[in-house]
Amino acid sequence: MKKDIVILGGGIAGLTTALALKKIGMEATIVEAAPVFKPVGAGITLAANAMQVYSLLGIYDKLLTEGNSLGELKVLAQKGKKISQANADRLKNGFTNLAISRHTLHNILLNEIDQKNIISGKKSIRMVQEEEKVKVWFDDQSFMTCDALIVAEGIHSTIRKQLLPSSTIRYSGYTCWRGLTTNTNLNIQETSETWGKNGRFGIVPIGDNQIYWFACKNASSQNQEMKAWKQKELLQNFQDYHEDIKDVLKNTPDNHIIWNDIIDLKPISTYAFGSVLLIGDAAHATTPNMGQGACQAIEDAFFLAHELQRNQSIQTAFIQFEQKRLRRTQTIVNQS
Ligand SMILES: Cc1cc2nc3c(=O)[nH]c(=O)nc-3n(C[C@H](O)[C@H](O)[C@H](O)COP(=O)(O)OP(=O)(O)OC[C@H]3O[C@@H](n4cnc5c(N)ncnc54)[C@H](O)[C@@H]3O)c2cc1C
């Protein structure tokens, strides 16, 4: 199929989709709102299902070199006593479960995509479908016309809000801080999540001698006090927890700590709208409890390329995609 395809959003969904389309000989233009491409977040775990897709897309070995393969995942009580232990190897189905910095993942994806197909600093504001074409306008007054529009704009997607004004973003009831720090002096090898009365704390070695950590605590939505918490306040909150947590926090400068409330998208029942398709968090943003948000976006990219290869008509491919993806992604949102 020789078609003009525009992907809105250069996050994991948009970049992986551009790569998957390239592998089947289709070009797409990515239009990203941010002036500079940069991932939001610290580290990420890519479960075996996502790594299987990346294997098919030819970047598995690169990811393996840059990330850290996860073995055992421990759940610990506040003082470090083991509550449970899961062997991630049993879940891997021939592919590793990987922890990697988001920055590194982004760069690996960006390096695979032709730079001429990437436009940054343009935020979509609305679109209209006219006969077989889609016209999309941007915040700089410009517009583009294409045969297919793939919307990978994340949970706050402008185009999803236009298509489904009543789609609902839900607050989970807990807020989250994330950070990255060097593991050089800490030398922590274990992946763990600690549960205690003041919240959860996850520690994940991610390769390149770095630690990715996250801290979660029940709170009211957009709590301004929590938003301002940095190293000092987090150390205070986790003062009765085991030493690794305090070491990780002490080792993380304030400017390496990010904060956000945990939200998801109430499952929607349509992803395909003629020549417009919602994918990734724009379609099925989930809470991170199962570590499957980005993994599902990566699966989307694979299934979309597969359907575009099989079907002559873009609209049919989009409907087929929706039929394959709705149930699985909704199950994950609900279970998470
Ligand atoms: C605390 C936390 C931990 C997580 N951990 C994991 C994990 O370990 N494993 C996992 O699989 N998932 C994890 N996730 C989920 C994962 O981060 C998301 O599912 C994933 O980033 C979604 O990718 P996306 O490309 O769909 O959306 P996004 O990453 O949100 O990217 C959207 C892109 O679109 C751009 N954009 C937005 N609006 C517009 C517009 N109007 N026009 C053009 N561009 C636009 C944005 O600037 C952005 O670059 C976690 C999430 C959180 C909050």
Give the mean pLDDT of 245-267: 97
Can you list the pairs that 246-249 forms with residues at least 24 positions away whose Cβ atoms lie under 8 Å? 247/186, 247/188, 248/179, 248/181, 248/186, 248/188, 248/203, 248/211, 248/213, 249/213
| Structure confidence at residue 199 (pLDDT) | 98
| Structure confidence at residue 3 (pLDDT) | 83
| Structure confidence at residue 71 (pLDDT) | 86
Q: Which residues are CB-neighbours of 29 under 8 A, at least 6 positions away?
A: 4, 5, 6, 7, 117, 118, 119, 144, 146
Report the residue among 7, 12, 124, 284 best suited for mutation to probe ligand 1: largest number of ligand atoms under 8 A from its CB.
12
| Structure confidence at residue 1 (pLDDT) | 57
Task: Name the pTM for this structure.
Answer: 0.97
The residues facing 214 across adjacent strands are 178, 202
How open is the CA angle 12-328-113, to the nearest 5 degrees?
A: 20
| Structure confidence at residue 6 (pLDDT) | 98
Indicate which residue's Cα is closest to atom 27 of ligand 1. 154
Confidence of residue 88 (pLDDT cuts 50, 70, 90): confident
| Nearest in space to 191 (alpha carbons), one of 311, 321, 287, 73 | 73
| Structure confidence at residue 87 (pLDDT) | 84
- Alpha carbon distances (Å) from 67 to 47, 204, 256: 12, 11, 19
pLDDT tens per residue, range 108-163: 999 999 999 999 999 999 999 998 899 999 999 999 999 999 999 999 999 999 99
Give the mean pLDDT of 304-328: 97
| Structure confidence at residue 208 (pLDDT) | 86
Indicate which residue's Cα is closest to atom 19 of ligand 1. 293
| Structure confidence at residue 243 (pLDDT) | 97
Domains of the chain: 5-33+121-168+266-335 (3.50.50.60), 43-100+171-265 (3.30.9.30)
Tell me, in angstroms, the distance from the centre of ligand 1 to residue 12's CA.
7
| Structure confidence at residue 174 (pLDDT) | 98
Residues with CB under 6 A from ligand 1: 8-14, 31-34, 41, 44-45, 123-124, 152-154, 158, 176, 178, 214, 280-281, 288, 291-295, 297
What is the atom index within ligand 1 of the atom nearest the CA of 138?
42
Give the mean pLDDT of 46-62: 97
pLDDT tens per residue, range 223-254: 999 999 999 999 999 999 999 999 999 999 99
Tell me, in angstroms, the distance from the centre of ligand 1 to residue 46's CA.
13
Give the mean pLDDT of 59-63: 97
| Structure confidence at residue 94 (pLDDT) | 86
Report the residue among 100, 163, 281 best suited for mutation to probe ligand 1: largest number of ligand atoms under 8 A from its CB.
281
% of the chain beyond a pLDDT of 70: 99
